């Protein structure tokens, strides 16, 4: 299971359509999605007009893509209202700036526009080393080398602690795939933590490593099929 497979399964079997991706990079995922309503948000897209053309030929749905070359904060501040109108988001991939404050704002902004049966997939929720979990500044100081998941894990813990209206868990695959939905009432939230946002902000990688399964509500990839009642 990886993020592309998870998104495609949900789109096909749950008839989810309207798609938004925060942090698109070269469009490895974005260009493969089949939907007439696709929103790409990234201040630094890593593709040319020629690549877009090729992608339209390979997947004609790309003709309808909407690109926003800006930060997600700027998008939600200036564009979201007119772009979405009455439309809701069915499925979103949150994969932009991998720092707690940013990933939390991204999820909260998407939630404001998420359909009742909509799904947010978050990439990079399960860093395996302190180096992978470092700040953007530290990653920049090592010339952007090595895996960087940042502290997106704190957003998962925050949602578990402070948003009882949501179901939140992380699949143990593809750097930790966070899954966030409006609560369906049949999902067991395992977290008994009661941290505030400020307390979560102070937690370290060692805290995380000692409580990984509980902080993330970590599940095997198979749980994805069970939770959404998907055919294999
Ligand atoms: C890991 S890449 C995304 C990969 C892509 N989602 C995929 O699955 O192939 C992260 C992207 O987030 C973008 N990014 C960084 N800060 C951002 C922000 N504040 N808002 C939106 N995107 C941001 C970067 O420019 C980069 O292209």
Q: pLDDT tens, 102-145?
A: 999 999 999 999 999 999 999 999 999 999 999 999 999 999 99
Residue 186, domain member (yes or no): yes
Residue 159, domain member (yes or no): yes
Q: How far is the CA of 188 from the centre of ligand 1 (A)?
A: 31
**pLDDT of res. 189:** 60
Separation of alpha carbons 70 and 78, rounded Å = 10
On average, the pLDDT of the chain sits at 96
Q: How far is the CA of 162 from the centre of ligand 1 (A)?
A: 26
How many structural domains compose the chain? 1
Closest C-alpha residue for ligand 1 atom 19:
71
C-alpha closest to that of 135 among 108, 170, 99: 99
Residue 74, domain member (yes or no): no
Residue 146, domain member (yes or no): yes
**pLDDT of res. 134:** 98
Residues within a 6 A CB radius of ligand 1: 3, 21-25, 28-29, 41-44, 71-72, 93, 95-97, 102
139 lies in which domain range?
3-20+87-228
Residue 26, domain member (yes or no): no
Residue 58, domain member (yes or no): no
**pLDDT of res. 193:** 85
**pLDDT of res. 188:** 59
> Per the structure block, which two tokens stand in for 157?
């813990």
Q: How far is the CA of 152 from the centre of ligand 1 (A)?
A: 13
Longest dimension (CA), the chain: 51
Residue 52, domain member (yes or no): no
**pLDDT of res. 3:** 98
Residue 157, domain member (yes or no): yes
Separation of alpha carbons 178 and 213, rounded Å = 13
Low-confidence ranges of the chain (pLDDT < 70): 186-191
């Amino acid at each position: 299971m990886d993020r592309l497979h998870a998104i495609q399964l949900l789109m096909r079997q749950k008839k989810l359509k309207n798609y938004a991706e925060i942090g698109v990079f070269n469009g490895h995922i974005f260009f493969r999605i089949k939907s007439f309503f696709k929103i790409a948000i990234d201040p630094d897209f890593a593709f040319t007009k020629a690549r877009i053309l090729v992608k339209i030929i390979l997947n004609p749905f790309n003709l309808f893509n909407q690109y926003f070359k800006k930060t997600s904060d700027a998008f939600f501040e200036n564009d979201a209202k007119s772009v979405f109108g009455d439309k809701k988001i069915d499925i979103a991939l949150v994969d932009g700036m991998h720092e707690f404050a940013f990933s939390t704002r991204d999820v909260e902004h998407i939630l404001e526009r998420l359909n009742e049966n909509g799904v947010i997939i978050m990439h990079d929720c399960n860093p395996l080393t302190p180096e992978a979990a470092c700040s953007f500044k530290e990653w920049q100081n090592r010339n952007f080398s090595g895996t960087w998941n940042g502290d997106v894990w704190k957003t998962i813990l925050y949602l578990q602690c402070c948003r009882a209206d949501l179901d939140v868990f992380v699949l143990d695959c593809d750097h930790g795939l966070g899954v966030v939905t409006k609560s369906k009432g049949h999902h067991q939230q395992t977290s008994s933590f009661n941290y505030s946002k400020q307390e979560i902000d102070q937690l370290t990688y060692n805290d995380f490593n000692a409580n990984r399964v509980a902080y993330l509500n970590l599940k095997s990839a198979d749980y994805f099929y069970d939770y959404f009642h998907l055919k294999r």
